[in-house]
Amino acid sequence: MTDDLLGRHRSVLPDWLALYYEEPIEITHGEGRHVWDSEGNRYLDFFGGILTTMTAHALPEITKAVSEQAGRIVHSSTLYLNRQMVELAERIAKLSGIPDARVFFTTSGTEANDTALLLATTYRRSNTVLAMRNSYHGRSFSSVGITGNRGWSPTSLSPLQTLYVHGGVRTRGPFADLDDYDFVAACVDDLKDLLGHTRPPAALIAEPIQGVGGFTSPPDGLYAAFREVLHERGILWIADEVQTGWGRTGEHFWGWQAHGRSGPPDMLTFAKGIGNGMSIGGVVARSEIMNCLDANSISTFGGTQITMAAGLANLTYLLEHDLQGNARRVGGLLIERLRAVAAQVPAVREVRGRGLMIGIELSRPGTDEADPEAASAVLEAAREGGLLIGKGGGHDTSALRIAPPLSLNVAEAEEGAEILDRALRSIR
């Protein structure tokens, strides 16, 4: 990437628009699980544009669908019938597990969560929302207000009253030393106590696996236990599936299914991977919740013909090629390989995750103190070795985030693990 483009970026775009790497790169094209920069360097992509390129770069089936649709019509708005939008909504409603589901399309996960908050607060006539500590739900005024991660919450002003609940991070906090059963029990007791001190909230919004928070998660069943408490009080459960959905965790199609003994959530939000890079987000909700608004609304760019064509082609490919199963198999091998590496690197505090959603948390050796400098150093070393990964975490961005396209094969997983092995050992 030339200095000129970086200088132009800095002169016209916001200072808070983060760029990776000491020498930022311009990605010009991709194919499969690889991308190339403007200098001709080839990288194995283990981050997929922040989990958006879920299937593969330049996948012919999706490229063909987008190209053919672009030759007919790109956009007409929700004021007109849209066959592609109806077809994709039908498929997502059925896959969601939510009974009598309705689907509303947006352009992003932020907008999807914003819509879910609007629906929940209107339906429940309450502006109080429960959210998880270490959470991230977007960058709009309302979604920033329910984000429990200091690094991504630039203001304390909010139209909502937000109360933060324990449980999203298994290995930190006051309950970290408990076993899984007692951890869940303690979090449930904390939730009950919290509800005894406040007016009834509209909803709990929670990521089954916290994305920006560093791919942390509670023990299976926590949100099912929460749901029982919430259901008794009429409080809604919103599963933020923006990063976990569509089979990425391997074991389940949706993240909420790891906590499913009490049934599906009242609402789920989605985005990122379903478009494989196209701007698709949305909300799935029971009909009485979705239909609770008593004013007109539209979505100018939500559900355009071209994005819906991409989503339909992507979902078809995902299901027909069992990419969920591939995420389980290849992701399992990758996690085992990375844990073997981590056992020899004192700076690695934990390797966690499921399927192709893996976090590596770094700390100063011999302590639980987060080490963001080490995370940045590994990010740089991985890029130099030909691998793109991400960063995250609620403790000063000390976790590495690994989320390749779900079509990753075993050879590519091994290649990426070898590069990460060298990068991690470089900080010893």
SS (H, E, C) 178-217: CCHHHHHHHHHHHHHHHHCCCCCCCEEEECCCECCCCCEC
pLDDT in tens, 216-255: 999 999 999 999 999 999 999 999 999 999 999 999 999 9
**How do residues 359-387 score in pLDDT, each as one tens digit?**
999 999 989 899 999 999 999 999 999 99
Give me the DSSP letters along 84-130: HHHHHHHHHHHHH--TTEEEEEESSHHHHHHHHHHHHHHHHT--EEE
Contact 338, 351 (CB under 8 A): yes
Sorting pLDDT into bands at 50, 70 and 90, what band is 1?
A: very low
Burial 370-392 (b: 16+ CB within 10 A, else e): bbbebbbbbbbbbbebebbbbbb
Residue type, 201: P
Query: Is pLDDT of 6 > 50?
Result: yes
Per domain, the residue ranges of the chain are: 3-58+322-425, 64-320
Q: 333 — phi, psi (to 5°)?
A: -65, -40
Mean pLDDT (the chain) is 95
Q: What is the pLDDT of residues 251-286, one digit of tens each?
A: 999 999 999 787 899 999 999 999 999 999 999 999
pLDDT for the residue 151: 83
- The pLDDT of residue 396 is 76
Question: CA-CA distance, 247 to 314, in Å (whole number)?
Answer: 13
Q: What is the pLDDT of residue 153?
A: 83
User: For residue 170, is it left (φ>0), alpha (ψ between -120 and 50) or beta?
Assistant: alpha
Are the C-beta atoms of 356 and 408 separated by less than 8 Å? yes
Neighbours of 176 (CB within 10 A): 11
Give, as one character, the DSSP assignment of residue 356. T
Alpha-carbon distance of 376 to 143, in angstroms, equals 27
Say what percent of the chain tops pLDDT 70: 99
Does the pLDDT at position 420 exceed 70? yes
User: Using one digit for the tens of pLDDT, what is the confidence trace for 29-56?
Assistant: 999 999 999 999 999 999 999 999 999 9
**For the segment 157-201, what is each residue's pLDDT rounded down to a tens digit?**
888 999 999 999 999 999 999 999 999 999 999 999 999 999 999
Same fold, 3-58+322-425 and 64-320: no
State the Cα–Cα distance between residues 226 and 265, nearest whole angstrom. Answer: 11
User: 88 versus 149: which is more confidently predicted?
Assistant: 88
Longest Cα–Cα distance in the chain: 61
Q: 64-320 adopts what CATH topology?
A: Aspartate Aminotransferase; domain 2 (3.40.640)
232-255 exposure pattern, b = at least 16 Cβ within 10 A, e = fewer: eeebbbbbbbbbbbbbbbbbbbbb
pTM of the model: 0.94
Q: Does the structural domain 3-58+322-425 have CATH classification 3.90.1150.10?
A: yes
Predicted local distance difference test score (pLDDT) of residue 324: 98
Beta strands 236-240; 203-206: pairing state: parallel
Quote the pLDDT of residue 415.
Answer: 98
Q: Which residue in the block uniquely carries the two structure tokens 């000390």?
A: 398
